[in-house]
């Protein structure tokens, strides 16, 4: 007996929006007698839909599958990476590390990164986001059924980097720390000032490393690297690997607080076929939480004087801070530079030449004039000759894709598809076959391919 003459029984009814024509096909089968042969059932189904559906019905009956057996759904990018590996959908691809450091590197230390870089102050750990630092040796828990290519652990390809931009950021952070250290009182370092560093990831890490003597860093990197990642998180991770020994040994007494952000977290995203959306939204403490910690002043550090407003996902937070009577100031990181009278390539080291506010040793103390959060400095400093538009900054509520009622205690909004990636799902089982951007899976070759 051929398969078409065998008795036909339905094992499962699928009636989902993603299956074109599923309803009429199932209805045709439902009308067939239970002991009808496969050939008879097919003919009954064809009769129910007429000649217009003949070709589609024959294809489904003959092959047992069609493109309609799968659909593309959007899933949170970080969830997919944690389940299927950091290079989900691009397992045969990797990342490159421009500015690779030549210093000795203990690769085994990467397994301790999330511990070495967490805040010493336990009360700050609620705001620490270890996601990025957990990625080097994370083990996938699942294998995509249609794309089982093995994933190379990120930790085996990760290399520390050190770039000129990181060097400048490190010296700038050290200069800011020197201002706070000089203003300490008999009771210790001032802790009523918090800093939010919003530079590109590697520079934010370097700035925090330079400032570590006076500020305890709270990292907020809530993504993983990816070979096609919109956010070049592997470079931020590589910078953290470079400074990991410094952060690990800077376990000291109470310091002021510094929240460390990656400015690239909101990078432009346009193409599912070539990009992996590993973007995320920064999460900062609520205004009441800062106030309860005794913080009365917030300094927001941006790259240049041209950056005169906060990132979109911070607007609600900063407006809420102002409403809570917390001062919010904005400062460009490049306000710090070496004094030409001191700088010399012949004696340049990691610690020399030092950077100063306004680029002169004599103007360094002017920081406390532009940001009058303490007694006037002595001796009287010289006003910097460079532009400082940030000193007039005041956060004002504006429309952003992340605007919400958070200023009044509500949850921050996030665009529906933000930080998500398209994946191919088998409708019959719900199994994830692979990332839609992947071209390697057998499901992709069979169906003509997703991902463009």
- pLDDT tens for the chain, 452 residues long, are 544 455 545 444 444 443 434 444 444 444 444 444 444 444 444 444 444 443 444 334 434 445 459 999 999 999 999 999 999 999 999 999 989 998 889 999 999 999 999 999 999 999 999 999 999 999 999 999 888 989 999 999 999 999 999 999 999 999 999 999 998 876 778 899 999 999 999 999 999 999 999 999 999 999 999 999 999 999 999 999 999 999 998 767 789 999 999 999 999 988 777 899 999 999 999 999 999 999 999 999 999 999 999 999 999 999 999 999 999 999 999 999 999 998 666 666 777 889 999 999 999 999 999 999 988 888 889 999 998 988 889 999 999 999 875 444 455 678 888 999 999 999 989 999 999 875 544 455 444 333 33
> What pLDDT score does 18 carry?
39
> What pLDDT score does 412 carry?
62
DSSP annotation string for 343-402? --GGG--SS-SPEEETTSGGGGGGHHHHS-SSSPPSSPPPPPSS--GGGG--------TT
3-state secondary structure of 340: coil
Query: Is the torsion defined by CA of 432, 433, 439, 441 positive or negative?
Result: positive
- Give the number of other Cβ atoms within 10 Å of residue 306's Cβ: 9
Q: Is 243 exposed, middle or buried (0-12, 13-18, 19+ CB in 10 A)?
A: buried
The pair of structure tokens assigned to 224 is 């993983």
Contact indicator for 441, 423 with CB cutoff of 8 Å:
no
User: Distance between CA 329 and CA 372 in Å, rounded?
Assistant: 10
Q: Please, which residues have CB within 8 angstroms of residue 101's CB and are 6 or more apart in sequence?
A: 159, 160, 161, 162, 242
Q: Please, which residues have CB within 8 angstroms of residue 289's CB and are 6 or more apart in sequence?
A: none
Q: Which residues of 99-136 are buried (b: 16+ CB within 10 A; e: fewer)?
A: bebeeebeeeebeebbebbbbeeeebeebbbbbbbebb
3-state secondary structure of 242: helix
pTM: 0.82
As a whole number of angstroms, the longest Cα–Cα distance in the chain is: 103
Query: Is the torsion defined by CA of 199, 200, 201, 207 positive or negative?
Result: negative
Domain ranges of the chain: 1-64, 72-408
The pair of structure tokens assigned to 398 is 């504006």
Contact indicator for 421, 272 with CB cutoff of 8 Å:
yes
The pair of structure tokens assigned to 158 is 């990760």
> What pLDDT score does 216 carry?
96
> What pLDDT score does 123 carry?
95
């Amino acid at each position: 007996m051929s398969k078409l003459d065998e008795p036909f029984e339905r094992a499962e009814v699928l009636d989902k929006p993603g299956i074109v024509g599923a309803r009429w096909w199932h209805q045709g089968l439902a009308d067939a007698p239970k002991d009808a042969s496969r050939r008879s059932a097919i003919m009954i189904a064809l009769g129910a839909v007429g000649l217009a559906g003949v070709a589609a019905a024959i294809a489904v009956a003959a092959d047992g599958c069609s493109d309609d057996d799968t659909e593309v759904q959007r899933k949170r990018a970080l969830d997919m990476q944690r389940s299927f590996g950091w290079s989900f959908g691009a397992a045969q691809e990797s990342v490159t590390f421009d500015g690779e450091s030549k210093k000795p590197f203990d690769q085994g230390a990467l397994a301790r990164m999330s511990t070495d870089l967490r805040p010493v102050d336990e009360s700050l750990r609620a705001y620490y986001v270890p996601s990025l630092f957990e990625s080097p040796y994370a083990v996938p828990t699942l294998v995509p059924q249609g794309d089982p290519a093995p994933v190379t652990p990120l930790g085996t390809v990760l290399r520390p980097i050190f770039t000129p931009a990181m060097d400048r950021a490190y010296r700038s952070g050290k200069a800011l720390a020197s201002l706070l250290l000089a203003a300490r009182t008999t009771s210790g370092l001032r802790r009523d000032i918090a800093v939010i560093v919003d530079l590109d990831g590697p520079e934010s890490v370097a700035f925090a490393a330079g400032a570590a003597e006076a500020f305890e860093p709270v990292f907020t990197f809530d993504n993983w690297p990816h070979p096609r990642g919109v956010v070049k998180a592997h470079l931020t991770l590589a910078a953290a690997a470079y400074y990991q020994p410094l952060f690990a040994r800077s376990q000291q007494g109470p310091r002021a607080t510094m929240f460390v952000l990656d400015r690239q977290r909101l990078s432009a995203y346009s193409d599912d076929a070539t990009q992996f959306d590993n973007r995320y939204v920064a999460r900062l403490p609520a205004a009441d939480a800062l106030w309860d910690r005794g913080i009365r002043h917030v300094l927001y550090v941006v790259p240049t004087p041209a950056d005169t407003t906060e990132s979109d996902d911070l607007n609600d937070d900063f407006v809420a801070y102002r409403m809570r009577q917390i001062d919010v100031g904005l400062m460009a990181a490049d306000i710090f530079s070496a004094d030409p009278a001191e700088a010399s390539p012949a004696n340049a080291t990691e610690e020399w030449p030092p950077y100063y506010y306004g680029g002169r040793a004599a103007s360094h103390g002017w920081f406390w004039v532009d940001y009058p959060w303490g007694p006037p400095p002595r001796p009287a400093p010289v006003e910097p000759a460079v532009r400082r538009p940030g000193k007039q900054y005041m956060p004002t509520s504006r429309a952003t894709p992340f605007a919400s009622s958070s200023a009044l205690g509500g949850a921050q909004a996030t665009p529906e598809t933000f930080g998500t990636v398209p994946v191919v799902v088998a409708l019959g089982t719900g199994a994830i076959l692979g990332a839609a951007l992947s071209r390697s899976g057998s499901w992709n070759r069979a169906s003509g391919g997703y991902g463009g």
